[in-house]
Amino acid sequence: MEDALLDLLRRVDTPTVCNAIEVAQGKRGFNAFTRGTMLCSATGEAMVGYARTARIRAVSPPQEPPDVIKTRRMAYYAYMASGPRPGVTVVQDMDGAEAIGAFWGEVNTNIHKAFGLAGALTNGVMRDLGDLPEGFPVVAGSIGPSHGFVHVLDFGVEVEIFGMQVAPGALVHADRHGAVVIPDDIVPRLSEAIATLMRSEKIVFDAVKGKTLGFEEFEAVWAAFEAART
């Protein structure tokens, strides 16, 4: 990814990216985004990067021997420390709606930030909200106090976060609204799509923000908006 596009994606929110994808595709119907309400540890920050994926559980103790669990955990960390950058860690908690294990707390966020990752996306639990490092947002399914019996099941596999499928290496953008997977084929056109979107929205904002507008005037503004967006 070019540095200019990366800088741009860090400055815009996830709804803007969703809209820009539709502009680039020339149609509505793009659906590779999360469903439902997620929680964000840092509301002003967006994360963007290539997915480093894993799956965990925490409700029940692992059934495998402790040395197997430890070896897999260290292999997980080696995997997260490698791969393309920018990177985002995307972890599916297989306990789903019953998730209790806060894998994302002060310890793991600092470790993963030190690995050079840009943030964490999970359907699971986060904690230690006052102690998480700056520059490493966590977008999670819930907040809780305990890590339970959290253990890594596997990594480098396709995962699902709030209805969104994420393959290893997929380009992910996430913030307090949720997350989206950016299709590879529109990446070369994404900067211009965002610029087109912003230019078209400015037509509406310039006409309505802080102003009084009649319907006939609005019709003209809306027509100009639609023409500019396509």
Q: How far is CA 205 from the centre of its chain?
A: 27
CA dist 38 and 179 (Å) reads: 9
Q: In this predicted model, what pLDDT tens digit does every residue of 26-61 receive, in sequence order?
A: 999 999 999 999 999 998 889 999 999 999 999 999
Residue 229 pLDDT grade (very low, low, confident, very high; cuts 50, 70, 90): confident
pLDDT of residue 215: 96
Name the token pair of 103.
């894998």
pLDDT of residue 45: 84
For the ranges 4-8, 44-48, 90-94, 179-183, the lowest mean pLDDT is seen at 44-48
Q: In this predicted model, what pLDDT tens digit does every residue of 190-225 receive, in sequence order?
A: 999 999 999 999 999 999 999 999 999 999 999 999
Count of other CB atoms within 10 angstroms of residue 133: 15
pLDDT of residue 43: 85
Q: Which of 26, 137, 152, 136 is nearest to 91 (CA)?
A: 152
CA dist 113 and 103 (Å) reads: 14
CA dist 89 and 139 (Å) reads: 11
pLDDT, average across residues 73-78 = 98
Give the number of residues written for the chain. Answer: 230
pLDDT surpasses 90 at 23: yes
Name the token pair of 230.
């396509």
Assign 148 to helix, strand or coil: coil
Tell me if 163 sits within 8 A of 36, measured CB to CB: yes
Tell me if 138 sits within 8 A of 150, measured CB to CB: no
Tell me if 50 sits within 8 A of 170, measured CB to CB: yes
Q: In this predicted model, what pLDDT tens digit does every residue of 147-204 receive, in sequence order?
A: 999 999 999 999 999 999 999 999 999 999 999 999 999 999 999 999 999 999 999 9
Structural domains of the chain in order of their starting residue, each with its CATH number:
31-182 (3.50.30.40), 188-229 (no CATH)
Q: Give pTM, 2 decimals.
A: 0.95
pLDDT of residue 55: 98
pLDDT, average across residues 14-20 = 97
Tell me if 165 sits within 8 A of 155, measured CB to CB: no
